[in-house]
Structure 1
Amino acid sequence: MDGVVRAWVDGWVVSRGAAPPEREPWGFTVDVGLVAQVSRHVFDALGDRVDEGVVRKVAGGVTGAGVWLKVFQDPAVVGGWLGEGWWVDPEPGYLMTVPLTGARADVLDGYRKRVWSVGGVTRVLVAAPDGSLAARGQVAPTGATAVFDRIETAPAHRRRGLGGTVMRTLQTAAATAGARTGVLAGTPAGRALYESLGWHVEAPLTSAKFVGPGVA
């Protein structure tokens, strides 16, 4: 999908309330404003098109803790490009897409589903019979694409179809808003759910954080 990285960045910024992305020759810089994630550098090349020299140069210019890199290549590859002070998540993420259509989203007996929209972000909460969190997620449509974010099912409520309920509810909300393609960055644990709902992997994703020399 052309422009998938830009679509993910734009939607993620809306979903998380981050600063508008700044265009760089190699991708985008996003200021987040959190201690654990001050900013992030997102490279717009995918897979084998990722330039090792460019990643090394950008990483080498980082000196402050809390700066992240998002590189669409496997961590086993990217980890060897980064110097001292970088922590690399050993598990790959996955940049994924899906054509959006409306979908039925039932809820199991005893569970309660709430859907609301604020600031361009639609959120779904599925509460357990005792009122605790069972599952949640949110989506940020930005025109023709929509970014799905913070998809979570509580451990005690997994394998009951609640993740699918959240995803289908968000998918319908995004399609209703006019989006035609869904985009997300998934974890290994979430990949099976997303693929069962028709999502396709576009590229692996490495997440790396600068923690400072002598710490990583």
Structure 2
Amino acid sequence: MQKSLAVHRVDPLIVEAWVMGWALSRRTPAPTALPIGFRVDVGLPQQKVRYVLPEFQPEVVADLASRIHTPWTFIKVCTEPRAIAKILPQTWTVQAPVFLMTAALAGNECSRGEPVLSKEYAVRVFDEGPIIRVQVEDAAGDIAASGQCALDGESCIFDQIITHESHRRRGLGSAVMTLLSDEAVARGKTQGILVATTDGLALYSAIGWTVHSPVTSAVIIPAGESAAGQ
């Protein structure tokens, strides 16, 4: 993994597309461009604001963190946790890294036509303009897997790809990715972007995605509370 990360230089345009697509997918206000990156006013109880910085500049990150005191504010930087942990005030908690990944959609492993699923599953695709949603339902009509993507420029930003625990290891996650990719390609999108957890790396790597950069979050968590993955 370290060898893979070393050959990639963080492209600010990829980060910008991810931020714009994430905000579109989550239906938040449009991100605000800053000299150092982006601010997204998310407005959720455990994620009020998120700052996203494409470049890790220690003095910039330290200065930004020193001026923020509002709980549930996140700073996300394209770097590894050890770099962030050294410079933040003690009020900040550094989370495990996630991974910004990219793929060329046309001809990719994740874009190979209709996926083959067991007869117990049915697929529903929802076209919501700039957002495409996919649901895989079991025989009882319950959602077994789901995901969505936001279309922005030439990019497709994949988000909230979920397979429920009792339906895992049946190819549903790959099926959701294939369906979303094919819909994006049909709309002229050429580049896929997503952020994967450590658990998701194997799935996405197996279908042709590559790591562009680690992304590390730091957050102010009120005393006595804990944060889920953001």
- TM-score, with structure 2 as normaliser: 0.87
Q: The residue matched to 1:81 in structure 2 has which SS?
A: coil
Q: The residue matched to 1:82 in structure 2 has which SS?
A: coil
| Structure 2 counterpart of 1:103, from 71, 93, 112 | 112
Task: Report what 1:172 is aligned to.
Answer: 182
Task: Report what 1:84 is aligned to.
Answer: 90
1:24 equivalenced with 2:34 (yes/no): yes
Deviation at 1:59, TM superposition (A): 1.0
Query: 8 Å contact 2:48–2:72 — kept in the other structure?
Result: yes
Q: The residue matched to 1:164 in structure 2 has which SS?
A: helix
The Cα RMSD (Å) is 1.6
Rounded Cα–Cα distance in structure 1 between residues aligned with 2:94 and 2:12: 27
Task: Report what 2:123 is aligned to.
Answer: 113
Identity of aligned residues (%): 37
Deviations 1:161-183 (A, max 9, x none): 10000001111111112111000
The amino acid that maps onto 1:103 is R
Deviation at 1:130, TM superposition (A): 2.5
What stretches of structure 1 of length at least 5 have no aligned partner? none
Deviation at 1:107, TM superposition (A): 2.1
What stretches of structure 2 of length at least 5 have no aligned partner? 1-10
Deviations 1:78-131 (A, max 9, x none): 122211221221x21000000012422222220111110224110011112222
Rounded Cα–Cα distance in structure 1 between residues aligned with 2:220 and 2:143: 32
**Residue-pair matches, total:** 211
Rounded Cα–Cα distance in structure 1 between residues aligned with 2:225 and 2:45: 16
The amino acid that maps onto 1:167 is M
Task: Report what 2:199 is aligned to.
Answer: 189
* Greater Cα shift, 64-73 or 79-88: 79-88
1:209 equivalenced with 2:215 (yes/no): no
- TM-score, with structure 1 as normaliser: 0.92
Deviations 1:14-40 (A, max 9, x none): 100111111111100011111111110
